[in-house]
Structure 1
Amino acid sequence: MRVLLRLLKSELMVFLMAATPLLELRASLPYGIFVLDMGYFHAFILSVLGSILPAPFILWFLPSVLSYLKKKRGFSTIAHWITRRTIKKSKKLETYKLWGLFLLVAIPLPGTGVWTGSAVAALLRIPFKDALLTCFAGTIVAGMIILLLSYHATLMV
């Protein structure tokens, strides 16, 4: 029973780390592999699922939340800043739409990932289904890149 609880705690840790902005699967996948000693495939699945978890909520609710906050004293400035910054950063994405969104999510660099991709897709009003599927595909590719880097890191040690 104790071993099962420890295993579930480890899996939950990887899953929640992947769902956290800035960390996402760039951190959760190596953490699962190197710190928690999970198998590559196991850590990959947990990281991808955790990473994609916030996407539908961001796609559904971000425009409404920002619209609401723009009308509220004290929050208006930050809501306008978030909108302007996201739109400014997504100019190239507008040209390539889904391919641009895919690359934004798939390239595992700081400032990219599911949170950013979903926010950009929501503010550019990319249809929900297209945005979610594109973010999911990008997450799988980002996970495979991190998985390859992690595998090569173990070969070097």
Structure 2
Amino acid sequence: MIEGVLKTALIASLPISELRGAIPYGILVQKLPWVLVITVSGTANLIPFFIVMNLAPSFEAWIARNAYFKKSWLKILESTRKKIAPYQKFGKWGILFFVGIPLPFTGVWTGSLACWLMGFSIKESLAYVSGGILMATVIVATATKLGGQIL
């Protein structure tokens, strides 16, 4: 059982799978109790938020000191910030729904990166990212339970 919990937590913290993969895996494959699965998955899915929000500024500072990467990094950063500018009007509520709707390439990793790019602090982003995790957890767990009953 501990191995199944650890595997579920790992899947929840990975960039591609996140909750969308961890909850079905924990419930349908590992046959773990659903309350345990959603608790472990939700908690493990919050880990990337702290990784991105704490490491991105350090990474940017390192790149800025490196003359070889600095020019191309600044172009990428400027281009990315221009692309997300139209979405800034949605602010932190947009982050909540972006993280909360379980679609490909939406989730904590991308949402946290968007928070950082928009200049939101960890403190002001945490509630909205956590709310998105809760929303995604409810959606995926419900779909998994209903789908598991059909199978």
Normalization by structure 2: what TM-score? Answer: 0.89
What CA distance in whole angstroms lies between the structure 2 residues aligned with 1:8 and 1:81?
Answer: 46
What CA distance in whole angstroms lies between the structure 2 residues aligned with 1:81 and 1:32?
Answer: 41
What CA distance in whole angstroms lies between the structure 2 residues aligned with 1:20 and 1:144?
Answer: 19
Q: Which consecutive residues of structure 2, in runs of 5 or more, have no partner in the other structure?
A: none
What CA distance in whole angstroms lies between the structure 2 residues aligned with 1:83 and 1:74?
Answer: 15
**Partner SS, residue 88 of structure 2:** helix
What CA distance in whole angstroms lies between the structure 2 residues aligned with 1:24 and 1:82?
Answer: 26
Q: Which consecutive residues of structure 1, in runs of 5 or more, have no partner in the other structure?
A: 1-6
Deviation at 1:72, TM superposition (A): 2.9
Deviation at 1:155, TM superposition (A): 2.2
Normalization by structure 1: what TM-score? Answer: 0.86
Work out which of the residue numbers 140, 149, 152 in structure 1 matches 2:143.
Answer: 149
Match of 2:66 in 1: 72
Match of 2:26 in 1: 32
More helix, by proportion? 2
Match of 1:104 in 2: 98
Identical amino acids, percent of aligned pairs: 27
Runs of 4+ with >2 A deviation: 69-93
For these two proteins, the number of residue pairs brought into alignment is 151
Q: Tell me the C-alpha RMSD between the 2 structures.
A: 2.0
List per-residue Cα deviations over 1:83-116 (Å, max 9, x = no partner). 3564345234310101111111001001100000
Is 2:143 aligned against 1:124?
no
What CA distance in whole angstroms lies between the structure 2 residues aligned with 1:83 and 1:123?
Answer: 8
Deviation at 1:59, TM superposition (A): 1.0
Aligned in 2, Cα 1:112/1:88: closer, same or farther, shift over 3 Å? farther
What CA distance in whole angstroms lies between the structure 1 residues aligned with 2:36 and 2:120?
Answer: 32
Deviation at 1:20, TM superposition (A): 0.7
